[in-house]
Amino acid sequence: MHLRQTVAAATASIALLLAVPSPAGAAVGEFRYTYYDDFGNRAAGVLVEPDSRVCVTLPEVADPDTTEPAFAPQNFTGSTVTMFTGPDCDGDYYSLRPGGRASDRLKLRSALFS
């Protein structure tokens, strides 16, 4: 009887550990992009180990009324990235696999890593 209670308690403990949500992981590596700064010069932007499954609006191009979108993304993370034409993961979207690069024609303002 005592063994049965011990096994039941251990099973319940394991089930509880598996049921607790874990914090979002990070996409290991860097995500690079190009944007135009306030003076109209090309500048490099980078996200280092961005959170997974969390929408990231690129700070330099967050406002569509005052900035041009970023372009030429390079995904040096280990995760697939879905990029959006609008802030807050809104608008048209495109995916880029780990190690992938896109041309200057691909425009983005936000990204979501798997």
Condensed to tens digits (0 to 9), the pLDDT of residues 75-88 reads 999 999 999 999 99
Amino acid at 76: F
User: What mean pLDDT, rounded, does the chain reach?
Assistant: 86
- State pTM to two decimals: 0.77
Residue 28 burial by Cβ neighbours in a 10 Å radius (0-12, 13-18, 19+) = middle
Residue 101: both structure tokens together: 């690069």
On the question of pLDDT at 3 being above 90, the answer is: no
Task: Assign 7 to helix, strand or coil.
Answer: helix
Min mean pLDDT across 1-5, 24-28, 45-49, 95-99 is at 1-5
Residue 25 confidence (pLDDT): 85
